[in-house]
Amino acid sequence: MRRALLHGAGGCLLASLLVSLAVAAPRMKVKVVVDDLATSELRVSIRIEGNEDSTLRLRGVPTYVDNPLAEARGEVVRDLGVWSGGDSLVARPEQAEDGESLWIVRGAGDEVLIQYTLHVDYVAGEKARNYPIHIPAMDPTRAWLTGNHVFVTPGFGADRVGDLLTPLQIDLSFSLADSLELFGPPSSVRFENLLQLLSLQFGVGEFELTQVELEGSQISAAVISNGPEELRPAEAKVLVSAVSGMLGQCLDLFGGAPFPAVNLYTFRSNGIGGLEGAFACQAYLPPSVDLTDRRAEKVRTFLAVVCHELVHTWIPIGLFAVEDPWFKEGVTSYYGFVLTARAGWIGPAETDRLFSGYGDQVFGEVELEAVSLSDPRIWYEEYSSESWRRLTYDRGHAVALLLDVHLRSETSNRKCLDDVMRLLYANHAGGSFTRGDLLASIEAATGVDSRGFFARYVDQTAAPTVREVDEAQRRAIKFGAYERE
């Protein structure tokens, strides 16, 4: 998630080790039925096979696991039914300490069927009111939804992060009335864990779609908007070109893509910002900005946000750093700008200034001087205030820069963070990696032992100094980090 002018986002995750299952992964078949958009209702069924827990914890909707964007107005999950082995089971509502709504189901067997009707009625949540977050809720003609707002999810892991990252085989299919069209994913898709399912973004209704050409790639991409009144054809052309170049850079960097389609949904709102997702991400800009004016600073800012959200398709949705909570926004911020530059949408004048506000951003927030980038509180707090946001976005961005420059310096610029990302993706795509995996990948990809770097910049509470960051950026530019290979 990225806020450029109006900062903010939302999220909370518990940090812990992922306990991987030694047994075959449970399978989930999920079906979403939309008969009539005017009723604002979706029917959802989830069939689980290979369930091993007789007691299931079903997490309510919206599920506040990551990027919470809206709060339900009233009851959104209606007519919830749970069956196992032909028996109807009782789903007992419960509220967790943090306010999350759950249902506890006992007596679940190997196969479980969960069905409910989702009445889509959301308003901006508390965090969204503090930091405006813009998601168009379902209306009679158009809906754009994220998985967080649609799916009740059963817990399979040892804890909340474990639930999200436990390997599952999730097959999702949409069934829409003939008069309705689906935007974002194809009508049937596969996910490898609940994080990916909850990151799904899709639209149902009337949108304008422009295909993006991606040379030599199997994945499809498109720019989706609410129509020419919000995104003029000449502006859509600019975005198509930008997304094509940026996605090409992402594919070069990671060596593959976690999903067969990566779409960008764009709309007008206050400020500039965006939200990552599986199969589609979104980015918004003010009505006054003309995307065909490449000299305008707001256009370059918006395009860098677009690239940031595209990078999130890989980090964290396709590749989750389970013990490095700074990775999600810090490394994404770094590559968001690096790949925008490599794709040719920001130039040396902009890259020179990328860290010009670093000192004010990071050292103006005294209460966070005692927090390290590996502090698990980041999972809860990352989007809760400007101070926390600066910790992972701005300090995290700087530490990612320092790490890249460290690897380039140690290898006479023969190896860099790109090599590490590619190896991590090759070995852990569709899942997560630990600190141990990360250190081993750095060593395998570059030959550098980076334990000292992590001890100094990630696990200690002191942020890099302004001088260190300025020097690192100067060297990164000299090394060609922002240039196409």
Binding site for Zn ion (CB under 5 A): 1-2, 329
CB 157 within 8 A of CB 182: no
Residue matched to tokens 């004016």: 293
Residue matched to tokens 């860290």: 355
State how far the Cα of 276 lies from the Cα of 446, in Å rounded to an integer.
29
State how far the Cα of 108 lies from the Cα of 86, in Å rounded to an integer.
11
Smallest separation (angstroms) from Zn ion to the CB of 187? 28
Q: Of 77 and 398, which has the nearer Cβ to Zn ion? A: 398
Smallest separation (angstroms) from Zn ion to the CB of 248? 20
In the bound complex, which residue of the shown chain has the CB atom lying closest to Zn ion?
1
Q: Of 269 and 465, which has the nearer Cβ to Zn ion? A: 269
Smallest separation (angstroms) from Zn ion to the CB of 175? 32
Cβ atoms within 10 Å of 465's Cβ, excluding its own? 14
Smallest separation (angstroms) from Zn ion to the CB of 305? 9
Q: Give residue 483's Cα distance to chain centre.
A: 25
Q: Of 8 and 60, which has the nearer Cβ to Zn ion? A: 8
Smallest separation (angstroms) from Zn ion to the CB of 26? 30
Q: Of 2 and 406, which has the nearer Cβ to Zn ion? A: 2
Q: Of 346 and 448, which has the nearer Cβ to Zn ion? A: 346
State how far the Cα of 255 lies from the Cα of 292, in Å rounded to an integer.
31
Q: Of 147 and 157, which has the nearer Cβ to Zn ion? A: 147
* Exposure class string for 78-103: b at 16+ Cβ within 10 A, else e: eebebbbeeeebebeeeeeeeebbbb
Q: Which helix (H) or strand (E) holds 203?
A: strand 201-205
Smallest separation (angstroms) from Zn ion to the CB of 215? 27
DSSP string, 74-131: S--EEEEEEEETTEEE-EEEEE-TTS-EEEEE-S--SEEEEEEEEE--EEE-HHHHHS
Peptide bond into 464 cis (omega under 30): no
Q: Give residue 92's Cα distance to chain centre.
A: 31
State how far the Cα of 138 lies from the Cα of 152, in Å rounded to an integer.
18
DSSP code, position 147: G
State how far the Cα of 145 lies from the Cα of 148, in Å rounded to an integer.
8
CB 351 within 8 A of CB 417: no
Smallest separation (angstroms) from Zn ion to the CB of 310? 11
Q: Of 163 and 329, which has the nearer Cβ to Zn ion? A: 329
Q: Of 146 and 450, which has the nearer Cβ to Zn ion? A: 146
Q: Of 329 and 419, which has the nearer Cβ to Zn ion? A: 329
59: left (phi > 0), else alpha (psi -120 to 50), else beta? beta
Smallest separation (angstroms) from Zn ion to the CB of 272? 13
Q: Of 154 and 396, which has the nearer Cβ to Zn ion? A: 396
Smallest separation (angstroms) from Zn ion to the CB of 133? 12
* Exposure class string for 222-260: b at 16+ Cβ within 10 A, else e: bbbbbeeebbeeebbebbbbbbbbbbbbbbebbeebbbe
Smallest separation (angstroms) from Zn ion to the CB of 312? 5
Q: Of 51 and 196, which has the nearer Cβ to Zn ion? A: 196
Smallest separation (angstroms) from Zn ion to the CB of 328? 7
State how far the Cα of 187 lies from the Cα of 111, in Å rounded to an integer.
24
